[in-house]
C-alpha cells in the first residue's frame, strides 16, 4: 500500500494532507526519513513515526481510556470538555467512538473503537456483559440496602425490578456493584432506590477486562486481542 494511503487510513488527514506530511519530512520509516508518498509498504505490522511519535498500522483501533471526571462522552459537549480531546488527533480523525457512555462525573474504564460492528456487538441488549462499578455513597451502607440491590429495586419507567448481578460493601460508604444492563444512570438510580445516594462513581471493569492500575486518569492504551476477548466475556461465561 502506498505510504500516503497508509497514513490516511490511520487518521493523518486526507490523501493530499498525508502527501504533504511526507514531503515535509515529518514521516520516518524504519528510523529513516521517507519523502516518497508513493513508496509501497506491506500494512501488516508496518511501523512508522510522525513528528517523532511512533505508530503501528492497525486496521481498526481499539483502546481503553481511564476517563477522568468532568468530561463528556460526546463530540459536541455542552458543559465540559469532550473525552475525545484526551486522544491524539489521528484517533479522532479516523472516527473512534465510545463503546457506550459514562456520565460526565463518572470516572474509570471507557472502551473506544472505530469498528462499527464491534461497537454494535458490545452495546447490543442481547450481549450480556458484566460491568463492575465502585460507588462512593453519601450515607453508610447497611445490610438492608445490599439485600435490596441484590433482590431488585424498582426504577421509574422500568416495567420490572432491576437487580445487581453482585453487590459487595468494601467500606462503610464504598460499594462494589455489578450490573449487566446499560440503562440510563442505572447505578445511581439503583442506589437511590435502595435509600442511599451515589456521590462518586468509578467503572472498574467490563467483562473480564479490568482497568489497568498503571493507567492514570486521562491516559489511554491500545487493546490487544487478548484484552478484546476479555472485554467481551459474557456474564454467563465469567
Residues noted as catalytic: 103
Grid cell, residue 13, equals 488527514
Number of H helices, E strands in the chain: 7, 13
Q: Which stretches does DSSP call E strand in the chain?
A: 27-29, 32-33, 47-50, 53-56, 62-67, 97-98, 106-113, 131-137, 166-171, 174-179, 198-206, 209-210, 220-222
**Grid coordinates 474509570 are at which residue?**
108
Grid cell, residue 113, equals 473503537
Grid cell, residue 160, equals 420490572
The DSSP symbol for 42 reads: -
CA-only gyration radius of the chain, Å: 21
Please name which of 101, 92, 94, 96 lies closest in space to residue 118, comparing C-alpha atoms: 96
Amino acid at each position: 500500500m502506498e505510504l500516503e494511503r497508509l497514513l490516511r487510513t490511520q487518521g493523518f488527514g486526507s490523501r493530499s494532507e498525508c502527501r504533504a506530511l511526507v514531503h515535509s519530512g515529518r514521516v520516518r520509516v524504519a528510523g529513516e526519513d521517507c519523502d516518497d508518498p508513493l513508496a509501497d509498504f506491506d500494512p501488516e505490522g508496518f511501523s512508522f513515526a510522525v513528528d517523532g511519535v511512533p505508530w503501528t498500522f492497525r486496521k481498526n483501533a481499539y483502546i481503553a481510556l481511564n476517563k477522568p471526571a468532568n468530561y463528556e462522552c460526546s463530540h459536541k459537549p455542552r458543559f465540559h470538555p469532550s473525552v475525545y480531546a484526551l486522544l491524539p488527533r489521528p484517533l479522532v480523525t479516523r472516527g473512534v467512538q465510545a463503546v457506550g457512555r459514562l456520565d460526565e462525573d463518572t470516572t474509570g474504564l471507557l472502551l473506544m473503537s472505530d469498528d462499527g460492528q464491534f461497537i454494535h456487538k458490545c452495546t447490543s441488549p442481547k450481549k450480556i456483559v458484566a460491568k463492575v462499578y465502585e460507588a462512593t455513597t453519601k450515607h453508610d451502607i447497611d445490610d438492608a440496602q445490599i439485600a435490596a440491590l441484590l433482590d431488585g429495586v424498582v426504577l421509574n419507567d422500568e416495567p420490572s425490578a432491576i437487580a445487581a448481578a453482585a453487590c459487595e460493601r468494601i467500606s462503610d460508604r464504598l460499594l462494589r456493584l455489578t450490573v449487566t444492563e446499560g440503562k440510563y444512570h442505572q447505578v445511581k438510580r439503583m442506589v437511590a432506590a435502595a435509600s442511599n445516594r451515589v456521590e462518586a462513581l468509578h467503572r472498574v471493569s467490563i467483562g473480564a477486562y479490568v482497568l489497568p492500575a498503571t493507567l492514570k486518569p486521562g491516559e489511554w492504551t491500545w487493546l490487544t486481542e487478548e484484552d478484546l476477548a476479555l472485554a467481551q466475556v459474557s456474564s454467563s461465561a465469567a
